[in-house]
Structure 1
């Protein structure tokens, strides 16, 4: 289960209203706004508007408060509508703040060969990047974003960025993670694009480090200030049959045997 936070500033409040209009067009505007205010932890929409004009810490989104208000007005609405609307706003904020982020990761990557056998020129490569970047703003990205947040809530942060914490490996753990929305509705397992995992990590406050290949192109993957041991433990738990988990168990077994019989292993 995830915990979704958002800065309750004016821009985010207005963006959330627009998303809720798309998702709940038959609900009166006043009811949507009042429910949003309660879902952000305020007693009313008016209180949320006042807070949005002040410097404030992020608030935790409360889907049940959102649902209960709409229920009191005669509307049966899932609390996940609010989570998905706020997630859409959060993703857009990350995209705006990170100009090289796309659905596949950080940077443009190398030029690719086209169907006619020719290589992309720089303009074509950039056009492809922009298309992939726009995919982060599709509704398609919301579920993997929330799923990634659920996994990242269990990851131990470190003071510095560590080796062995590549985003591509973390995203494989995330997409196999069995978890739910706060109300119990299934959320994962679900496919998680590399760029969505990175967006979720940035939103959650993790630091990132980009990497480049031998030709100077972005590798698309980043590393994080995450505990490698924690990630390995999560991988063992979530993907016990993965190659990395099996290799780790074999290595631990060898260490155990060496400790138990040092003379035998020294032969």
Structure 2
């Protein structure tokens, strides 16, 4: 499960209304916006719209339950996940604005790849591919991946500095195996999570990050964060119990217990 919070601004309200119109075209527009107000914690859409005029944006906690409950009262049965996905897209776009080199694959361009004719990509081709990957961040699956990453990272302890063992590529694989739900109980994971959406979720939550380059000077696309390696290791062990990492940890624990038993026998 996750908690999603977004700033209340006029541009965000416009984006939310547009996203909800696309996925809920059969719901009356007046009911959609009133449900949006409830889903962001306001008594009415008018009070939400007034709050959006504030020079210092208020932070709203998204509630799919309140959103869906209002629509149910007015004869529309709606999945609460629609609001979370629309709000996730708002959050993703905020991160994209802050990070112009972020795409669905991660940060930067990576190494040039070969074309189908075996020639190497030109800089123009690499950039065109990057633009396509960045646009993919606007798709529905990206919002769902972002929310799953958010659910996982809510269980990770922050640290003062960026740490080893906190790489986005490792975290995205842990997230992909995380069996979790939306706050109201609908299934969210496990499912595929793109590296870029894991990074976007971490940045949205306020984690600091560090980028990396490979031995040839190209972007690795990955990032490391100010996250506790111990809490990540614990999650990895819990969520992926059949990996080599988990088996090695079990063997170390068994060896430690055996040494403790042996030491107690000698006393």
Q: Secondary structure at the match of 2:224?
A: strand
- Displacement after TM superposition at 1:261 (Å): 4.4
Match of 1:73 in 2: 74
Q: TM-score, normalised by structure 2?
A: 0.94
Superposition pairs for residues 1-267 of structure 1, below 5 Å? Answer: 1-54=1-54, 55-261=56-262
Aligned length: 262
1:149 and 1:101 map into 2 onto residues whose CA distance is: 17
How far did residue 129 of structure 1 move? 1.0
RMSD between aligned alpha carbons? Answer: 1.3
Give the aligned partner of residue 265 of structure 1: none
Alpha-carbon distance in structure 2 between the residues aligned to 1:167 and 1:260: 39
Q: Is the 8 A contact 2:6 2:62 kept in 1?
A: yes
In the alignment, the residues of structure 2 paired with residue 164 and residue 259 of structure 1 have an alpha-carbon distance, to the nearest angstrom, of: 28
Residues 131-164 of structure 1: per-residue CA shift (max 9 Å, x gap): 1111111112121111111111111111111011
The superposition leaves residues 66-121 of structure 1 with CA deviations (integer Å, 9 ceiling, x where unpaired) of 11111122111111111111111111221122111111111000100111111111
What is the distance in 2 between the residues matched to 1:229 and 1:253? 19
Describe the SS at the equivalent of 2:94: helix
Q: Residues of 1 paired with 2:135 and 2:259: CA distance?
A: 53
Structure 2 residue matching 1:129: 3-state secondary structure: helix
Q: Using the TM superposition, give the Cα deviation of residue 257 of structure 1 relative to its aligned residue in structure 2, in angstroms.
A: 3.8
Structure 1 residue 58 displacement after superposition: 1.8
* Cα separation, 2, equivalents of 1:218 and 1:190: 26
What secondary structure, in the 3-state scheme, does the structure 2 residue paired with 1:110 have? coil
By how many angstroms is 1:250 displaced? Answer: 2.1
Could you tell me whether the CA contact under 8 Å between 2:51 and 2:58 is conserved in 1? no
Using the size of structure 1 for normalisation, the TM-score is: 0.94
Equivalent-residue separation in structure 2 for 1:216 and 1:255 (angstroms): 42
Measured after TM superposition, the shift of residue 259 of structure 1 is: 4.9
1:192 aligned counterpart, secondary structure: coil
Alpha carbons 2:144, 2:188 under 8 Å: kept: yes
Does the CA contact (< 8 Å) of 2:107 and 2:223 recur in 1? yes
Range moving further from structure 2, 44-53 or 246-255: 246-255
Kept after mapping to 1: 8 A contact 2:195/2:222: yes
Which structure 2 residue ranges, 5 or more long, are not aligned? none
- Work out whether residues 169 and 222 of structure 2, in 8 Å CA contact, stay in contact via their aligned partners in 1: yes
- Matches of 2:254 and 2:15, distance apart in 1: 53
